[in-house]
């Protein structure tokens, strides 16, 4: 399914390898034979018009589609060489390793502390209160939120501003020490300053994690990612280095979309 002219879907050091991934919802096909590699310690952005299948693809990588009635995923996805579409794979364990951050910040209706502590507790990643305290602090630090919340850890997470809530969700995602973080339009509900903070955070996090971000902002994709894949009508039309995609896309459809000529 690779059109070598416009695609470099395969990369040297992939974290996630997706081959022939197709998805249908109650028989209606939404993704068609997607081949895409996700690079280790880099940010891959998925762009494309609404309904082209970006979120569907993202959900394949941590099997979130399992919980959607009538959704069938076929093909192969491996993370660190392990096939994750196998029935034997424990989806809960998988979602610890492949975390997700959503468009709308969705903190639990609990304290800031418990939002972070929840994952490490249920996955048994920590022993004792001291260790848990430390995970909470480092996660909040890495998410750039510690200084803002350290004096009110026991207050509800829902009381934070939108941008803070999103960084709380990112802190929650990294508290369980994932390998891959999936972000579905993480900044679309945030103002420019909060967006800049999250982008800075993404830049920082890519040193430790492999990140896949869906975004409707071309500028955001250009700013934060090293690779960009353009989805259209359920296929990957073009994938390549972000700089190439935004300065010299090879495919007319990519060009049309990113320059605002998409009809």
Partner 1 sequence: MPNSDAHIVRSYSGELQNISALVAKMGGLAETILTDAITALVKRDADLSTQAIQADKRVDSLDAEIEHQVVRMLALRQPMAVDLRSIISALKIAQSLERIADHAKNGAKRALVINQSPPMDATRGIVRLSDVAREMLRSVLDAYVNSDAEGAVKVRDRDEDLDVLYDGYFRECLTYMMEDNRNITAATHLLFIAKNIERIGDHCTNIAENVYYMQTGERLSTARPKGEDAMGLKAE
Ligand X SMILES: Nc1ncnc2c1ncn2[C@@H]1O[C@H](COP(=O)(O)OP(=O)(O)O)[C@@H](O)[C@H]1O
Residues that bind Mg ion (CB under 5 A): 55
CB of 236 to partner 1, least distance (A): 18
Whole-angstrom CA distances from 41 to 73, 102, 133, 141 are 26, 20, 27, 19
Q: Which does 140 bind (CB under 5 to 8 A by kind): partner 1, ligand X, Mg ion, none?
A: none
Residue 247 as a binder of partner 1 (CB under 8 A): the answer is: yes
Nearer to ligand X, 4 or 50 (CB): 50
Residue 22 as a binder of partner 1 (CB under 8 A): the answer is: no
Sort residue 60 into left (φ over 0), alpha (ψ -120 to 50) or beta.
alpha
Residue 54 as a binder of ligand X (CB under 6 A): the answer is: yes
Mark the segment that binds ligand X (CB under 6 A) among 43-51, 85-93, 120-128, 162-170: 43-51
Q: Which does 2 bind (CB under 5 to 8 A by kind): Mg ion, ligand X, partner 1, none?
A: none
Nearer to partner 1, 43 or 47 (CB): 47
Mark the segment that binds ligand X (CB under 6 A) among 37-45, 50-58, 77-85, 247-255: 50-58
Nearer to ligand X, 156 or 256 (CB): 256
CB of 55 to Mg ion, least distance (A): 3
Q: Which does 262 bind (CB under 5 to 8 A by kind): ligand X, Mg ion, partner 1, none?
A: partner 1
Applying CB under 6 A, what is the total number of residues that bind ligand X?
Answer: 11
Residue 1 as a binder of ligand X (CB under 6 A): the answer is: no
Is there a contact between 60 and 115 (Cβ–Cβ < 8 Å)? no
Nearer to ligand X, 36 or 168 (CB): 36
Interface with ligand X (CB under 6 A): 25, 30, 48, 50-56, 68
């Amino acid at each position: 399914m690779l059109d070598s002219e416009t695609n470099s879907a395969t990369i040297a050091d992939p974290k996630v390898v997706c081959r022939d991934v197709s998805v249908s919802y109650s028989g209606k096909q939404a993704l068609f034979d997607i081949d895409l590699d996700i690079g280790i310690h880099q940010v891959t952005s998925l762009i494309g018009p609404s309904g082209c299948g970006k979120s569907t693809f993202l959900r394949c990588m941590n099997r979130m589609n399992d919980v959607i009635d009538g959704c069938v995923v076929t093909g192969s996805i491996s993370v660190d060489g392990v096939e994750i579409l196998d029935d034997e794979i424990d989806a809960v364990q998988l979602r610890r390793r492949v975390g997700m951050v959503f468009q709308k910040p969705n903190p639990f209706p609990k304290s800031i502390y418990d939002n972070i502590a929840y994952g490490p507790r249920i996955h048994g990643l920590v022993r004792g209160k001291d260790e848990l305290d430390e995970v909470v602090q480092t996660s909040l630090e890495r998410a750039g939120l510690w200084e803002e919340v350290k004096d009110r850890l026991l207050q509800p997470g829902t009381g934070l501003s939108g941008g803070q809530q999103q960084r709380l969700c990112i802190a929650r995602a990294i508290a369980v020490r994932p390998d891959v973080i999936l972000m579905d339009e993480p900044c679309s509900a945030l103002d420019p300053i909060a967006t800049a903070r999250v982008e800075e955070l993404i830049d920082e996090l890519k040193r430790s994690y492999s990140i896949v971000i869906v975004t409707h902002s071309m500028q955001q994709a250009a700013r934060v990612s090293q690779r960009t894949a353009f989805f259209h009508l359920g296929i990957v039309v073009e994938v390549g280095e972000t700089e190439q995609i935004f300065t010299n896309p090879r495919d007319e459809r990519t060009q049309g979309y990113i320059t605002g000529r998409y009809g």
